[in-house]
A and B are shown apart, each in its own frame.
Chain A
Amino acid sequence: MSRYLFPLGAFALLVLLLSVGLGKDPRQVPSPLVGRVAPAFSVPELKAVGEQVSPADMRGRVWLLNVWASWCVSCREEHALLLELAKDVPIIGLNYKDQRVDARRWLEQAGDPYLRSAYDGDGRVGIEYGVYGVPETYLIDANGFVHYKQVGPMTRQVWEEKMRPLLKEMRK
């Protein structure tokens, strides 16, 4: 029987490898933006017609840039959390590849967590930031440097474990 045990032994090793591998995240590659200055842009405000929004307006403050769209399902998941975070840190929304009407209606219905909303209808700013999918959230310091990038919906865990400690550090 002993030689028939070989396949089982090999499989056990494989399982060991796979179970260790499960704990790792192959996607956790640092964004090239982290540690660099957030790309500048100047695009129309979503609601206030005639006004422009630019990261330069936020100089001197620590803030979040949240990329979102009304058609984005995962954005709904993080929305409640954003409303809550807005009390703590200013959030600039980047409304990405959306229709103005849809976007405004969505903010009226669900509540508006954004200090200001930049309207990026053609996705040009998104390209500058290397937006892969919506939502994405950037933590940016007083000098305009990006400190953290969250791809996918914000979760309480990410906020508590990753962003908030960084935020505290930056505000010192």
Chain B
Amino acid sequence: MIPELGHLALIFACVVAIVLGTLPLLGAHRQRQDWIALARPCALVFALLVLASFAALSWAFLRDDFSVLYVAQNSNSLLPSMYRFGAVWGGHEGSLLLWVAMLALWMLAVSVFSGQLPEAFMARVLGVLGLVAAGFLIFVLFASNPFERLLPVPDNGRDLNPMLQDPGLVFHPPMLYMGYVGFSVAFAFAVAALLGGRFDASWARWTRPWTIAAWVSLTLGIAMGSRWAYYVLGWGGWWFWDPVENASFMPWLAGTALMHSLAVAEKRGTFRAWTVLLAITAFSLSLLGTFLVRSGVLSSVHAFATDPRRGLFILALLIFVVGGSLTLFAFRAGQIKKQGKVDFALVSRESFLLTNNVLLVVATATVLLGTLYPLAIDALSLGKLSVGPPYFNTVFVPVMMPLLLLMGIGPMVSWRQADLAALVPRLRWAALLSLVGGMSAPLLFGDWSPLTALGLVLAMWIIAGAGFQIWDRSRAGRPALGWWGMQIAHIGVAVFVVGVTMVKGFETEKDVRMAPGDTVSIADHSFRLVGVRERTGPNFTAVVGDVDVLRDGKVIDVLHPEKRVYFSSSNPMTDAAIRTGWMRDLYVSLGEPLDGSLDGAWSVRIYDKPFVSWIWIGCCLMGLGGLFAMSDRRYRSRRGAKDGSPVLEGALT
């Protein structure tokens, strides 16, 4: 009964979304107030219906209703209840429902928090979101219905993929999807602007907090996924350039570019057509990611079920949303009137942000190319291949280097025309500090290589630059939250770079044979395998190793790496044990028992990963910076711009 109610709610939601996607848009076009006024109530009803349907599916999971096919495929009566909740989005159908639920939440947020927007503009924004929602709901209802029943009812479910049975599943997908889907808001603002012909500074100011909010979610979502892969997959890696990872990384890169170009669009009124295009691109890449992940055209470690009909459906959706908006862009972008002539000098904030945009877009393109290349080769019947980390590392990293270099200076440079002579004395100290520090730091860790030194120099350059600015500005008064947000996020990037550089340069790894009582030394720590025992979990059996970690002969920690075999799967799962610290992670994972050894020996893998947690700390700082930036007072004030930036009303007329 409850699943049917959930299904019904989804059908109603689809109808409401179709109404929302048509009448308010037409109303805004014909200036009919009654149709425009439909937008907010429709968005509210839509959101409630979708959330009700989502609750119904969760209920089916919690109550072990295996008569629902999707529940039977992704749950089991032994599955702990926390994972049951995560299992709601553990498969294809549920994760699409999560997608729609996130869209509903964003629509709700837009209709609640954007009271200051003109009604017609608001109607267009919600209408566009309604169209996207309708497209997805039709897909869910016709090709991925999570409420489908299964007869005869099985005694038990197939269980959730063991790799997903981790707290990471509960937090990572919702956060990631919130980011993915969040770019739909910037997209809707862009399309609404194209429809209404309004591209002024206030348009950019309205769009900024929404873009930053989506970007924060995506940043944290990607970081969580990376952390999850780090401790679950047992390989000790944190990023694999897997197609699914790339699918989330491309919108992130485009979204980062969008955040920066929006700053120019708001403050200086230039880059406007470009900004609109970026907003469309960021969301299009989110949709493309959904297509790549959900259609199964690319194989990946994330191994989702494939069904060509679904792929076709998402492709149609992609053509409708992206093709439609780009067509609109082709016809209307020409009307975005230039603000006189381009009036910024070679050395100015504008030119720095322009370079930032070019570099980020090139980076996005390299990732896109690497991700789609195997597909193109297969499509042209030239064989099957996969593009791996070597390509991405050689192509992507060099594009990022100049970006980091510019990041240290960019925020100091003033708009329109910067005084180079005034910049140099300040930069001199930052440059000296970072060169000396970055070049010598690797020596402390015993091994100097040019790439490690370069990474550290760049990171210190950014931190030194930010330090000088904070020192300067906080003496001159209280900078706005947005300014602090930028500094924090940039420092976050530097912290991230330190983590990546140090792990890359100084990680050590040992694959050893260990019998109980054996000791292995790595990076002034010793590891002693005390013994191996068996343990039974709720839906798995595990072999647990007890490993003492010693330093200077004293036991400082006991680690418990596990090898689990879930009742429902043949592949054993490695659950690594990690001792996390500021300076290093010590990482132990159990390999295989060595057959034929009389002393019960195992193959054991031990890693020393210096500074690896800085990678995620850096991401958290970026997210925190974003939170600061989006809570800046300016975004809450009514129309007028109080910070002296020019207000460009009616630029199209």
Contacts and interface: CB of A to CB of B under 8 A. Distances in A.
A18 B297 contact: yes
A43 interface: no
B582 interface: no
Given A71-B568, A127-B570, A4 B155 contact: no
A22 B297 contact: yes
Interface in A103-129: 123, 126-127
Contact of B372 (A17, A25, A126): A17
Contacts of B158: 71-74
A16 B306 CA distance: 20
Contact of A102 (B72, B155, B318): B155
Interface of B: 69, 72-73, 76, 150, 152, 154-159, 273, 277, 280-281, 284, 288, 291, 295-299, 306, 308, 311-312, 315, 318-319, 322-323, 326-327, 329-331, 333-334, 372, 374-376, 378-379, 384, 565, 567-571
A73 B326 contact: no
A20 B308 CA distance: 12
A94 to B, nearest CB: 12
A76 B155 contact: no
A20 B377 CA distance: 11
Interface size class for chain A?
35 or more
B322 A17 contact: no
Contact of A8 (B306, B323, B378): B323
B379 A5 contact: no
A172 interface: no
A11 B378 CA distance: 19
Nearest to B335: A1
A11 B322 contact: yes
Given A4-B330, A23-B308, A15 B299 contact: no
Given A18-B315, A71-B157, 4 more contacts: A22-B308, A29-B384, A97-B570, A123-B565
B405 to A, nearest CB: 29
A74 to B, nearest CB: 8
Given A21-B375, A97-B570, A71 B156 contact: yes
A151 to B, nearest CB: 11
Interface string A23-47: 1111101000000000000000000
B295 A73 contact: no
26 contacts: A1-B334, A4-B273, A4-B330, A4-B331, A4-B333, A4-B334, A7-B277, A11-B322, A12-B323, A21-B376, A22-B295, A22-B312, A24-B297, A25-B306, A26-B299, A27-B296, A29-B384, A71-B76, A71-B159, A73-B158, A97-B567, A97-B570, A123-B570, A126-B570, A131-B570, A133-B569
Contacts of A24: 297, 378-379
Contact of B375 (A17, A73, A96): A17
B150 A73 contact: yes
A73 B73 contact: yes
A31 B379 CA distance: 22
Interface string A50-74: 0000000000000000000011111
Contacts of B571: 132
A157 interface: no
Contacts of A18: 291, 297, 315, 318, 375
A76 B72 CA distance: 12
Contacts of A12: 323
A26 B568 contact: no
Contacts of A8: 323, 326-327, 329-330
B297 A27 contact: no
Contacts of A97: 567-568, 570
Most buried by B among A11, A15, A20, A96: A11
B290 to A, nearest CB: 12
Contacts of B334: 1, 4
A5 B330 contact: yes
A137 to B, nearest CB: 16
Contacts of B73: 73
A21 B565 CA distance: 36
* Nearest 9 Cβ contacts at the A-B interface: A20-B379, A26-B299, A8-B326, A4-B333, A21-B375, A21-B297, A4-B330, A22-B311, A5-B330
Contact of A76 (B154, B308, B568): B154
Most buried by A among B159, B280, B319: B319
Contacts of B318: 15, 18
Contacts of B150: 73, 76
Contacts of A72: 158
A47 B266 CA distance: 76
B154 A71 contact: yes
Contact of B323 (A15, A70, A71): A15
Contacts of B273: 4
